[in-house]
């Protein structure tokens, strides 16, 4: 279970960074996998319109928090 949460955290960090790069320039690799948040979630939420970079960086921070929490939680 902990490995799955760590994988989710790592994916969120990579997706946030990748979305930021994609918004600022062009996505060099794995854009179809890593930019799901950037291409499907952000356009559907009107509040995030115009704040795509902040949303992607917030996603990366959330992923880092999930990674830290997964490492600190002891397996039962």
Q: How far is Cα 53 from Cα 27, in angstroms, rounded to an integer?
A: 14
Q: State the first-to-last Cα distance of the chain, in angstroms, to the nearest integer.
A: 10
pLDDT the model gives residue 75: 58
pLDDT the model gives residue 16: 92
Q: How far is Cα 32 from Cα 49, in angstroms, rounded to an integer?
A: 21
Tokens matching residue 58: 């917030």
pLDDT the model gives residue 30: 73
Tokens matching residue 1: 């279970």
Q: Tens digits of per-residue pLDDT, 11-57?
A: 999 999 988 988 888 766 777 788 888 888 888 998 988 899 999 99
Asked whether residue 73 carries a pLDDT value surpassing 90, the answer given is no
**CB 42, CB 55: distance < 8 Å:** yes
pLDDT band per the 50, 70, 90 thresholds, residue 65: very high
**CB 76, CB 39: distance < 8 Å:** no
């Amino acid at each position: 279970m902990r490995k799955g949460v760590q994988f989710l955290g790592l994916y969120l960090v990579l997706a946030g960074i990748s979305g930021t790069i994609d918004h600022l320039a062009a996505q060099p690799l794995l854009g179809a996998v890593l930019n799901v948040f950037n291409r499907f979630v952000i356009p559907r939420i009107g509040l995030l319109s115009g704040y795509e970079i902040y949303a992607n960086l917030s996603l990366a921070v959330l992923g880092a928090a999930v990674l830290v929490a997964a490492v600190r939680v002891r397996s039962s």
